[in-house]
Structure formats: C-alpha cells, structure tokens
A and B are shown apart, each in its own frame.
Chain A
Amino acid sequence: MIFFNNITKIYPPYFTKKENIVLKDISFKVEKGEFVSIVGRSGAGKTTLFNIFLGDEKPTKGDVFFDGQNIHKLSAGKACLLRRRIGTIFQDYKLLPTKTVYENIAYAMEVTGASDKDVERYVPEVLDAVGLVKQALHFPHQISGGEKQRTAIARALIHDPEVILADEPTGDLDPYHTREVLKLLLKLNSSGTTVILATHDKEIVNELGRRVITLKDSKIVGDSQQGRFIL
C-alpha cells in the first residue's frame, strides 16, 4: 500500500557550512491494515518522513508510492484527493487559529464535499469521542495543549481515512488520555485503517507490541514485527 523507496533528505547548509542529512536511503513498505510504529530520538527524521509522505516536502532522492502512485509526481488536484485518504495528527497540531474546535474538525469534512447534514451529524459524535464537547466553540488559543492535541486527533479521524499518520499524538496528553488515544488508534486499526505512529515514548511502543521501525543517525537500524523500543 505504502512504499518508501530509497528516501534521502538533505537540507542545504544555512547557518553552518555542513549540510544536514536527515534521512538516508530509507526503504520500507507498509501493508494495508498494518499498525507500524516509527521510533527514534527527537530529530531522528520521523516528522520529515511524514512530511515527505504528505507531499509537503520533496525528498532529495528516492520516491514514495501510495497504492502504486508516485506521490511527488501527482498533479495538485490528485495530491489533494490523496491527502483526503490520509488523516494526519501533527506534532504541532496545525489547527486553524481563526476557527473554533468544531470548525477545525468540520473543515476536514467540508473539503471532501461532505453535506452539511453529515457534518452536523458526525462532528458532535467525534467531539464526544475525544471529550471536547464543552470546548466545541472555543478557539485554539483558548484551550490547553492536551485539548489541542485531541482536536487534531478528532480532525484526523472525522473523514474516516484509510491511513492515519500520528506524529507524537500523545506528547501533550496525561496518562488517562494517552491510554484513550492508543485505544482509539487500535480500534481504528482493527477495523482496517492503516496506522503509522511516530513516537519516542518507550512505554507506548512496548505496550503496543506491533511492528516497529527504528530510526537512528538518519538510517533505519531496525524493522521488526512485534518489536520493542531498543534505543
């Protein structure tokens, strides 16, 4: 379903004379319905990998395929259709600051052309699922980090995507909500959604007991089914 083929990402030197190699010769496949954790220390290139998959950044070398389509060779129109098949929980939330929690979640449905009736039906359901009913009319600057993260999660799930990219989705959550989010991701995965989770949280990875891809020094140093956090 998803194939990262020999991906290298090098940022040109700006303030230092040395170029910054973030990813080097990264290759792996993710099959439909898999739950994969990508682990590595901060700065290991997990977010860059996600950005490349979303077409937000171009790799210096290599290609990414989604259902046989080379993501970086798609037209703008096809790229947006592809992104609608992906739900992304961004590490920095990326909420729209001038929209309320409700509107942020509804926006991801509206762009797909969903009817107002469906939006009005499903958004409150998802708000309830992530415990944000009371914050529905608040703007991002009026809610806590954890609530922002849950809003980002709700937005990623609302349009029932085929793939969920979760970049440190529990970073700002308390243990209770961390567990709830993991339960939610596992539930979605059990119903056929592919989940790719980027994290540096050892406990989460070990508890999941699913496939783990380990990044270190810009390279893949481990890829094991039912893996553990080994860094």
Chain B
Amino acid sequence: MKKRFINSTRRALRLGWKNFYRESGLSFVAVFVLMITISIDVLLFLLSGVVEIIISDIEQKADITIDFQTTIPEERILELKEDLEDNFEVNNIEYISRDEAMTIFIQRFGDRRSLMESLEEVDNPFPASLNISADDSFVYREIADYLERDHGGMIYSIDFANREEIIAGIFTATENIRRGGLIVAIILSIVAISLVYNTIKLAIYGLREEIKVMRLVGSSNLFIRSSFIVQGALVGCFAAFTSLVALSLLGFLIPQTYNITLEVNLYEYFLEMLPIVVALQFAIGFLMGVGSSLVVVGRYLK
C-alpha cells in the first residue's frame, strides 16, 4: 500500500512536471497571469499596512488632555486614571505630573531666557495632566461628560470642546479610508481570482480531450487529478517566485530615508514585512494554482 502510494506520488510529480515544461507556452501565460494576481494581492496587503500605520498615527494624535487643579494631590489623579482605564474603552492614558510638565517645558523652551527667568519668579505653575487616546471619538465625549459631571472640582480644563469637531472628522475620515480600502481590495481580489481561474480553465479546456482519453484507458479520477494538481502547484510556485523577484526589485528601489510617519521608515517596514510577504506569495500561488486546477479538472471529470 505504502509502496503503491509512493509510486503514484512519484508518477504524479513526473507527469505534472512534464506537462508543465512541455506545454511551456501555456505555462508561461498561466504563470504570468498568476504572478500579476499575487503581486496585486501582496501590494494591497502592504499598502493596507502602510495606510493602517498612517491612520493609527493620525488617530493617536487626535487625543485629549485633562489638566487638573494644582491643589489636587497626585494619588487622587492616579485613582481617577485607574477609574477611567477600568470604565472606558481607552487605548492609553498617560499621566504627566507637575514636575514632568515643567521638565518638558524647560526642554522645549530652555533657550528662551525671558521665559526661564519668569519661571524662576514663581512656584511650578504647570498642572498635572492625563493624556487620553481612544479608538472612537464618542469615548472622548463620554469621558469629558463624566469628568465634568462627577469630578468637576478637580478639573482645571479639558481641551475637548474646542477640538471635538476636528477629532470626530479625523475618525470619520480614517474609518472611510479603511472601508474604501477594504472594498477596493475585495474587488481587485475578485478580478484577480477570476482572471486566474479563467486562464487555467482555458488552458485545461484544450486538454479536455486528453482527460477523456486518460479515462478511457482506465485512469482513475485521482490519478488524472494528481498530475494536474502538480502542474497547478508548479504554476503557483513559479508565479510566486517571479512576483517575489519583481516586488524585491521594486522594494529595494524605495529611498532608505523615506518615512511613513515620524517613527516608521518605509524601507524598514518593507524589510520587516518581507518574510510575511514571501509566505503570503507562495501560499496564494500554491492555493490558487492547485485550487483552480482542481475545480476545472473536476468539471471535466464529471
């Protein structure tokens, strides 16, 4: 049984490989079309990553700051921080003490003598604050309402009312970009998949007479399928490889100094994503090559 399985597998590999190189014109077209499909999918994947980084960066900048009265002790502010973290859907709350606020000010404006001199005249004038970032703009409205209602006495100011429209606008825009991107990705993927399916269908349509002969000489459906699976897998792997070469050439042309955001460099992002991209390319190539072959051969074997 095991020997028979090994024998059949070896034959399927041999027949699949021979079909692949003997029908080189057909294989070339199939590889080319699949390469385009894989490249579109991978570029969409990379692009969605870049867009997500930019969107997150923008969203993080759309935060709110709560300044406390200078008389409020640190323990109470930290208790409130915990309270907010427990009861609201926030991404991050950063506590900045009065001393830290002053240090930040000095770091930023230390070269302005007049400011520094006036600062020496008074006790630390900076309030302690909480910097809050969340995924949705309505969370900010809830927090602002809650603080004004239940902790109004502690609060010196909340910079939300004057930024509310801008923040809501940013979130609406980023959400639209995400949705639009998803729709574009789905449409392009459907176009790409149907392109590959129809190319392989055309290729195998020419082989339908051959499939019929294979059956008439006693070949089992599995034996016929296996060689076409190998052929499909080879098309997929070659397509993935050519897509990888094309994408790498494109990737290494990215200027190494080009930054997506303050923290993220595009070239470094590309290098970081490369292993995932390679895996994705071969997975898509293999699945599409084998899947299309199976579906199309299945139709002629009915």
Contacts and interface: CB of A to CB of B under 8 A. Distances in A.
Given A113-B7, A113-B8, A98 B22 contact: yes
B220 A111 contact: yes
A56 B210 contact: no
| Interface size of A as a range | 20 to 34
A54 B219 CA distance: 13
Nearest to A79: B215
A113 B4 contact: yes
A63 B23 CA distance: 40
Contact of A96 (B4, B213, B218): B213
B215 A110 contact: no
Interface string B184-221: 00000000000000000000000000101111111111
A155 interface: yes
Given A77-B220, A98-B19, A98-B22, A83 B215 contact: yes
A94 B221 CA distance: 18
Nearest to B3: A115
A80 B210 contact: no
Contact of B219 (A95, A111, A115): A111
B11 A83 contact: no
22 contacts: A54-B216, A56-B216, A76-B220, A80-B215, A80-B219, A81-B218, A84-B218, A86-B218, A88-B216, A94-B213, A95-B213, A96-B214, A97-B210, A98-B18, A107-B217, A108-B218, A111-B219, A111-B223, A113-B4, A113-B7, A115-B7, A116-B7
A81 B220 CA distance: 8
A193 B48 CA distance: 68
Interface of B: 4, 7-8, 11, 18-19, 22-23, 210, 212-221, 223, 301
Given A111-B218, A112-B218, 15 more contacts: A56-B212, A77-B220, A80-B218, A80-B221, A83-B215, A97-B210, A98-B22, A98-B23, A99-B18, A103-B18, A108-B217, A110-B11, A113-B4, A113-B7, A115-B7
- List 8 tightest A-B contacts by C-beta distance, closest first: A84-B218, A83-B218, A111-B219, A94-B213, A80-B220, A108-B217, A98-B22, A111-B218
Contacts of A86: 218
A108 B22 CA distance: 20
Contacts of B212: 56
B216 A111 contact: no
Kindly name the residue among A86, A111, A115, A159 whose own CB sees the greatest number of chain B CB atoms within 10 A: A111
A83 B213 CA distance: 11
Interface in A46-93: 54, 56, 76-77, 80-81, 83-84, 86, 88, 90
Interface in A103-123: 103, 107-108, 110-113, 115-116
Kindly name the residue among A80, A110, A115, A116 whose own CB sees the greatest number of chain B CB atoms within 10 A: A80
